[in-house]
Amino acid sequence: KQLSTAGDKEELTKDEILQKNREEFFRRHMKAGEKSRSPKPDAQKEKGKKPRVWDLGNSNAKVLDYSNSATNGSAEACPVEEFDPDMALGDKNREPGRLYDLEYESDDEAEEEKVVQNPSKPSVKKGGLGGMFGMLKGLVGSKSLTRDDMDPVLEKMKDHLIAKNVAAEIAVQLCESVAKKLEGKVMGTFTTVTSTVKQALQEALVQILQPQRRVDVLRDVMDAQRHRRPYVVTFCGVNGVGKSTNLAKISFWLIENGFSVLIAACDTFRAGAVEQLRTHTRRLNALHPPESHGGRTMVQLYEKGYGKDAAGIAMEAISYARNQGFDVVLVDTAGRMQDNAPLMTALAKLIAVNAPDLVLFVGEALVGNEAVDQLV
């Protein structure tokens, strides 16, 4: 009996221990829940959106609020501000048609400061005249440029060109040409590596972009008039870039300058090409009727339908313009891709047979480097 009583006490003791553990667990869980609750704010936040104050406007929504019917549109609610002459786009003292010069801060100086961080400075610890002469020697710039000096600057210039949508290969070639040109060159007085490289890169870009031929269409048209022949312009390009539309715009510009225009419909492939040019011709004649030019028709369309030889139509149009006394012949051609050999051969034949005075390429600005392949 004593053994059984001792066993019951041990079993009760285990139950009590389990019960205490449960109570302790629930107690700790409840305390953790109370701590995790965020305290309620004393003052409630205002509901609704706050009126926005624009950074550049320096005003709030009350100035722009016209919902009040009593003051909506009244002169008292909207006082007239004084005119600031400094904000005017035009000036009576300036030349006609010249706009006000806008001032903006360029980031070139900031980029130059980032590139040239630790330039080599002359040491002045020697003291006396030696340190002073060393400083002056470093300032007047007797150092010759090396590739190691130009590499950080050229890397920045290359990244800048690529960021401005210049092809990576072109940017690398430009930087390489600038490096070869400047390597071993003695820097000028009070100049930095960055300014020297930037000036050389600018000269290289100007040399590339400078046109080798001066184009003055009005002068060339008058020169052709003196030789009693029409001035011939041929439009070419890929499909859908706006050759016919630009042809109509140039026709209007030539008519405004007093020249008569003959449009040659040499796009005999695309459906509706002749009808499009016919519409442009009708609109241009409505703007410049013969009555306004002494009974002279300023623009006329020369067409032979579809499926004909474009080079032959252009030749007939030029001959017709010479006989009828037209000043300019604008030749519209069919759009074609540069990899289409038959159409490119037909275009080459048209240009070789008729020898136009000017060949205009109409391209799309968003095609990127593909425009070089289209043009060449």
pLDDT digits (tens, 9 = 90+) for 317-357: 999 999 999 999 999 999 888 888 888 888 899 999 999 99
Q: Which of 27-31, 80-84, 250-254 has the lowest mean pLDDT?
A: 80-84
Please count the other Cβ atoms lying within 10 Å of the Cβ belonging to residue 370. Answer: 13
* pLDDT over 50 (residue 156): yes
According to CATH, where is 1.20.120 located in the chain? 140-210
Give the residues across from 299 on adjacent strands.
Answer: 261
Mean of the pLDDT values across residues 47-56? 64
The predicted structure's pLDDT at residue 129: 55
Examine the pLDDT at 121 and tell me if it is beyond 90: no
| 271-to-230, 251, 284, 305, 335 alpha-carbon distances in Å | 28, 22, 22, 10, 12
CATH architecture label of 140-210: Up-down Bundle (1.20)
What DSSP state is assigned to residue 42?
A: S
Instruction: Examine the pLDDT at 24 and tell me if it is beyond 90.
Output: no
Residue 67 is predicted with a pLDDT of 61
What number is the average pLDDT over the span 89-115? 48
- Amino acid of residue 137: K
Q: Please answer whether residues 352 and 364 qualify as being in contact, where contact means their C-beta atoms are separated by less than 8 angstroms.
A: no
> Are 261 and 251 in contact, with CB atoms under 8 Å apart?
yes
| Mean confidence (pLDDT) of the chain | 77
Give the highest mean pLDDT range of 63-72, 114-123, 256-265. Answer: 256-265
pLDDT confidence bin for 373, thresholds 50/70/90: confident
Pairwise CA distance, residues 212 & 193, whole Å = 31
- Which of 264 and 73 is assigned the larger pLDDT? 264
pLDDT of amino acid 289: 92
pTM for the structure as a whole: 0.57
Question: Are 351 and 233 within 8 A, CB to CB?
Answer: no
Structure tokens at 43: 């003052």
Using the predicted structure, report yes or no on whether residue 6 has a pLDDT greater than 50.
no
Please give the CATH superfamily to which domain 217-375 belongs.
P-loop containing nucleotide triphosphate hydrolases (3.40.50.300)
Q: Extract the runs of DSSP E, i.e. beta strands, from the chain.
A: 231-236, 261-265, 299-302, 328-332, 358-361
Q: Write out the DSSP string of 218-287.
A: HHHHHHHHHTT--EEEEEE-STTS-HHHHHHHHHHHHHHTT--EEEEE---SSTTHHHHHHHHHHHHHHH
Confidence of residue 70 (pLDDT cuts 50, 70, 90): low
Q: Which residue has the higher pLDDT, 365 or 35?
A: 365
- Percent of the chain past pLDDT 90, that is, above it, reads 36
Residue 130 has pLDDT above 70, yes or no: no
pLDDT recorded at residue 133? 56
Percent pLDDT > 70 in the chain is 67
Give 190-232 pLDDT, tens digit per residue.
Answer: 778 888 899 999 999 998 888 887 888 999 999 999 999 999 9
Q: Tell me the CA end-to-end span of the chain in Å, nearest whole number.
A: 115
The dihedral region occupied by 272, where left means phi > 0, alpha psi between -120 and 50, and beta the remainder, is: left
Looking from the CA of 16 toward its CB, the CA atoms found within 13 Å total 6
- Specify the domain boundaries for CATH 3.40.50.300 within the chain: 217-375
Cα diameter, the chain: 144
pLDDT in tens, 280-305: 999 999 999 999 888 899 999 999 98
